[in-house]
């Protein structure tokens, strides 16, 4: 007897290639191991079984120590404005040329199998396969970092990861060791403000900004250097979830961001970002009221405006997750001539770490030969051999200088990479610059630049996180730091934690510098009033009004949204006109957190039935609680009433299609006071 399923295979009738071992021997039977008799035992001789199982046993490679959970896509960068007076790098000077690239987004703290929506920084790593070699711009969705010196990175990461004795919490900053480290590391306070903002709970990876963080240098043909900061700006605007929504999404769809990116790209809605640069000279930098080499500081756009120079489009999902997304190896040290590093001590440490980590993760100094990592321009040198060498170099010369082989690669003094001839002076030592001492001014700048809604979210996030910290002294010390940033913020958090007295502020290492508020730091100010790239869910049941559903779906689609039908059964519902409309999601498995706005179209009986269904009540309660627009027909309205909700200006009659579509383009932050108590 053959194995189950075999007959079904045969019926499929396609002309499949032959199944072989890794040595090319064709298999006659992929269902059964080789047995000494019909009921066993299995023979050790079965090389086919052993090869298959051995390979399987070795399928996993070490996951990234940070940024393990990620999703990636192929695309291209197109330069729209040349930087030829600043740099020789062709990727930044050849207008209109499309440079292929691969971009990987990630969370930082969780393992590869963790969920997509924890409160966490998002990695934003771009590998550009330029004509002059690979350029990796390995950034985050936040323009600053927790620490100033790479030597603290292992401590930071050990503090944020699962606590070593208990193995939890996974993918969460809300625990003692993280806040213990932070409370003793005042330089992290600016980043903490960003981490506690809604930037760390994005709606979609297509709606985040990206930042290279560090200052880099551009170097022109004359050898002159200009500092540069890189920014990616999403075409769809910034959009975040609210915290309760992010928490529920973690259960409803652990792959929410990956699925969103996959669905957008495979349906032809290619996500797009603008590349912007902030350019400044050393002399300008000397006049900034902060040190630009300190990665806990940003350069406000009001001080150095952003110049848009190109765009990135992601238009192709990888063919294979492991071969591409998992094996891609980003290194900030992958640079091309015309771009150079700055002395930022965090960047300098990273230049070592990434190459080193690839050796341990991918296991070979030849990781650059993997298809996803290999440059798309010619590359050749005298490095040889090593684990898993894929190249077969010809000839007897594997050294330089040499005279024996005319085609042996040689250096090129003109076109080759030149490090900028910066002058360095001073005493060596394990030191930190005095100019890095101010830890609170930019934290304050960030907080005070936010809208009142965003400030309330930050205060509430701090209360949430610190409420998960068992050690009272840690909670107190954090509130003490907050007093340097903003007394009102400190009061709100102290109150939210139930403190009777506000703790003392720890001593500050530098006086506060006053800075002009920077609205560019908000999310709300950068949200776009649009349904492009968003999703509208329509909840239906048997008897729902076919015309109303059609009208709403059509209008939402023509405004750029995807529309998904939700019904108690995935097979769909029989509508008022007798037609059967299949559902995209079953109600119990498709809560409203999946959508940016919802419509509820129900007959009286359909509504009566769903009023006794918790999933339907939560569908409407959550859409309302997550500040979304709702369209309701009479049946929808009775479900809304059964959920105990009171309508506001974000609740529309299903008939008022245009108003609903307009309303669905944003969130109703004013509603929040009616649905939750914020700090
Ligand atoms: Fe990373 N970081 N990092 N990091 N980082 C890694 O490299 C490291 C930092 C960032 O999608 C690792 O390939 C040190 C800042 C991204 O594959 C590792 C320091 C920024 C990714 C590493 C930092 C980042 C990584 C782990 C302090 C924003 C994911 C796996 C000096 C500018 C890339 C790997 C991907 C990954 C080290 C700080 C961004 C261990 C030592 C600041 C987006 O090499």
DSSP category for residue 401: S
Angle between helices 176-183 and 472-485 (to 10 degrees): 50
**CA 332 vs CA 22, 75, 128: distances in Å:** 36, 20, 12
Q: String of b and e for 77-94 (b: at least 16 CB within 10 Å)?
A: bbbeeebbebbbbbbbbb
Residue 104 Cβ inside 6 Å of ligand 1? The answer reads yes
Residue 444 Cβ inside 6 Å of ligand 1? The answer reads no
Q: How far is the centre of ligand 1, averaged over its atoms, from the C-alpha of 67 (Å)?
A: 7
* Predicted pLDDT of residue 6: 56
Unique residue bearing structure tokens 């009777």? 500
Q: Which runs of consecutive H residues, i.e. helices, occur in 570-656? A: 604-610, 614-625, 634-642
Residue 246 Cβ inside 6 Å of ligand 1? The answer reads no
Q: How far is the centre of ligand 1, averaged over its atoms, from the C-alpha of 579 (Å)?
A: 53
* Predicted pLDDT of residue 15: 84
Q: Are strands 98-107 and 535-539 parallel, antiparallel or unpaired?
A: unpaired
**Residues 376, 80, 85: CA angle, nearest 5 degrees:** 90
Fold of the domain spanning 70-369: Catalase HpII,  Chain A, domain 1 (2.40.180)
Query: CB–CB of 479/497 below 8 Å?
Result: yes
Same fold flag, 70-369 and 529-675: no
Fold of the domain spanning 529-675: Rossmann fold (3.40.50)
Q: How far is the centre of ligand 1, averaged over its atoms, from the C-alpha of 130 (Å)?
A: 22
Shortest-distance atom of ligand 1 to CA 104: 11
Query: CB–CB of 106/70 below 8 Å?
Result: yes
Fold of the domain spanning 5-57: Cytochrome C Oxidase; Chain J (4.10.91)
Q: Are strands 585-586 and 580-581 parallel, antiparallel or unpaired?
A: unpaired
Q: How far is the centre of ligand 1, averaged over its atoms, from the C-alpha of 1 (Å)?
A: 53
Q: How far is the centre of ligand 1, averaged over its atoms, from the C-alpha of 125 (Å)?
A: 9
Query: CB–CB of 229/305 below 8 Å?
Result: no
Residue 73 Cβ inside 6 Å of ligand 1? The answer reads no
Asked if 439 is an active-site residue, the reply is no
Residue of the nearest CA to atom 39 in ligand 1? Answer: 139
Q: String of b and e for 218-254 (b: at least 16 CB within 10 Å)?
A: bbbeeeebbbbbbbbbbbbbbbbbbbebbbbbbebbb
Asked if 381 is an active-site residue, the reply is no
Q: Which one is catalytic: 74, 134, 140, 190?
A: 140
Query: CB–CB of 315/100 below 8 Å?
Result: no
Level-2 CATH architecture, domain 438-525 = Up-down Bundle (1.20)
* Predicted pLDDT of residue 547: 98
Residue 145 Cβ inside 6 Å of ligand 1? The answer reads yes
Positive/negative CA dihedral, 74, 330, 148, 154: positive
Helix (H, G, I), strand (E, B) or coil at 106: strand
Unique residue bearing structure tokens 């009221």? 289
Residue numbers of the chain with a pLDDT score lower than 70: 1-13
Helix (H, G, I), strand (E, B) or coil at 140: strand
| Alpha carbon distance 438, 511 (integer Å) | 7
Single out the residue of 169, 144, 170 nearest to residue 68, CA to CA. Answer: 170
Query: CB–CB of 630/650 below 8 Å?
Result: yes
Residue of the nearest CA to atom 8 in ligand 1? Answer: 350
Phi, psi for 339 (deg, rounded to 5) = -125, 140
Helix count (H) and strand count (E) of the chain? 19, 18
| Alpha carbon distance 23, 31 (integer Å) | 19
Residue 345 Cβ inside 6 Å of ligand 1? The answer reads no
Q: How far is the centre of ligand 1, averaged over its atoms, from the C-alpha of 173 (Å)?
A: 18
Residue 354 Cβ inside 6 Å of ligand 1? The answer reads yes
DSSP category for residue 20: B
Q: Which one is catalytic: 67, 439, 481, 626?
A: 67
Return the number of other C-beta atoms located less than 10 Å from residue 508's C-beta: 16
In the chain, where the domains are located: 5-57, 70-369, 438-525, 529-675
Query: CB–CB of 666/529 below 8 Å?
Result: yes
Query: CB–CB of 232/212 below 8 Å?
Result: no
| Alpha carbon distance 334, 566 (integer Å) | 47
Residue 310 Cβ inside 6 Å of ligand 1? The answer reads no
Residue of the nearest CA to atom 14 in ligand 1? Answer: 350
Query: CB–CB of 159/185 below 8 Å?
Result: no
Unique residue bearing structure tokens 């961001």? 257
| Residues whose CB is less than 8 angstroms from the CB of residue 384 and which lie 6 or more positions away in sequence, other chains included | 393, 398
Shortest-distance atom of ligand 1 to CA 106: 11
Residue 332 Cβ inside 6 Å of ligand 1? The answer reads no
């Amino acid at each position: 007897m053959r194995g189950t399923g075999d007959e079904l295979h045969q019926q499929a009738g396609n002309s499949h290639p032959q199944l072989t071992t890794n040595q090319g021997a064709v298999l006659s039977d992929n269902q059964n191991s080789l047995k000494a008799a019909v009921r066993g035992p299995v023979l050790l001789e079965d090389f086919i079984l052993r090869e298959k199982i051995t390979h399987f046993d070795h399928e996993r490679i070490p996951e990234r120590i940070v940024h393990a959970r990620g999703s990636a896509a192929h695309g291209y960068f197109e330069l729209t404005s040349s930087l030829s007076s600043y740099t020789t790098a062709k990727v930044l000077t050849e207008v209109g040329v499309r440079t292929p690239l691969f971009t990987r987004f990630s969370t930082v703290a969780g393992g590869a199998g963790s969920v997509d929506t924890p409160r966490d920084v998002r990695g934003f790593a771009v590998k550009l396969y330029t004509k002059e070699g690979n350029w990796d711009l390995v950034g985050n969705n936040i323009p600053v970092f927790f620490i100033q010196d790479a030597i603290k990175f292992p401590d930071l990461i050990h503090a944020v990861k699962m606590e070593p004795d208990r193995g939890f919490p996974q993918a969460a900053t809300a625990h003692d060791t993280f806040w213990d480290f932070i409370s003793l590391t005042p330089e992290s306070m600016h980043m903490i403000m960003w981490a506690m903002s809604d930037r760390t709970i994005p709606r979609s990876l297509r709606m985040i900004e990206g930042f290279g963080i560090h200052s880099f240098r551009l170097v022109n043909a004359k050898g002159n250097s200009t500092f540069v900061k890189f920014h990616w700006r999403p075409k769809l605007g910034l959009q975040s979830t609210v915290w309760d929504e992010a928490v529920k999404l973690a259960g409803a769809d652990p792959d929410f961001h990956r699925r969103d990116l996959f669905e957008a790209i495979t349906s032809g809605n290619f996500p797009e970002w603008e590349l912007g640069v902030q350019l400044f000279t050393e002399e300008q930098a000397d006049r900034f009221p902060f040190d630009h080499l300190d990665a806990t500081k940003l350069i406000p756009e009001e001080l150095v405006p952003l110049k848009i120079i190109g765009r990135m489009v992601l238009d192709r999902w990888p063919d294979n997750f492991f071969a591409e997304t998992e094996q891609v190896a980003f290194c900030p040290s992958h640079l091309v001539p015309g771009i150079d590093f700055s002395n930022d001590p965090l960047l300098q440490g990273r230049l070592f770490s990434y190459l080193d980590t690839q050796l341990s993760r991918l296991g070979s100094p030849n990781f650059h030969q993997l298809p996803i990592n290999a440059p798309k321009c010619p590359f050749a040198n005298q490095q040889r051999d090593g684990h898993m060498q894929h190249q077969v170099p010809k000839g007897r010369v594997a050294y330089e200088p040499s005279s024996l082989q005319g085609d042996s690669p040689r250096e090129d003094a003109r076109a080759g990479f030149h490090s900028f001839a910066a002058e360095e002076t001073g005493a060596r030592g394990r030191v930190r610059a005095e100019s890095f001492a101010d830890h609170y001014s930019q934290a304050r700048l960030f907080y005070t630049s936010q809208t009142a809604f965003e400030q309330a979210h930050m205060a509430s996030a701090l209360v949430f996180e610190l409420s998960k910290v068992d050690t009272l002294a840690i909670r107190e010390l954090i509130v003490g730091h907050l007093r340097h940033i903003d007394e009102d913020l400190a009061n709100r958090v102290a109150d939210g934690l139930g403190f009777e007295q506000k703790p003392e502020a720890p001593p500050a290492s530098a006086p506060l510098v006053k800075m002009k508020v920077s609205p560019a730091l908000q999310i709300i100010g950068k949200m776009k009033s649009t349904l492009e790239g968003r999703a509208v869910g329509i909840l239906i049941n048997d008897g729902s009004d076919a015309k109303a559903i059609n009208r709403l779906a059509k209008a939402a689609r023509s405004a750029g949204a995807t529309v998904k039908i939700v019904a108690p059964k995935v097979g769909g519902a029989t509508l008022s006109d007798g037609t059967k409309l299949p559902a995209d999601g079953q109600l119990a498995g498709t809560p409203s957190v999946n959508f940016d706005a919802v419509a509820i179209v129900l007959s009286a009986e359909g509504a009566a039935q769903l009023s006794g269904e918790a999933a339907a009540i939560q569908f409407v309660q959550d859409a309302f609680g997550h500040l979304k627009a709702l369209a309701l027909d009479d049946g929808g309205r009775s479900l809304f009433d059964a959920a105990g909700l009171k309508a506001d200006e974000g609740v529309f009659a299903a008939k008022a299609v245009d108003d609903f579509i307009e309303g669905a383009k944003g969130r109703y932050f004013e509603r929040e006071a009616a649905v939750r108590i914020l700090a």
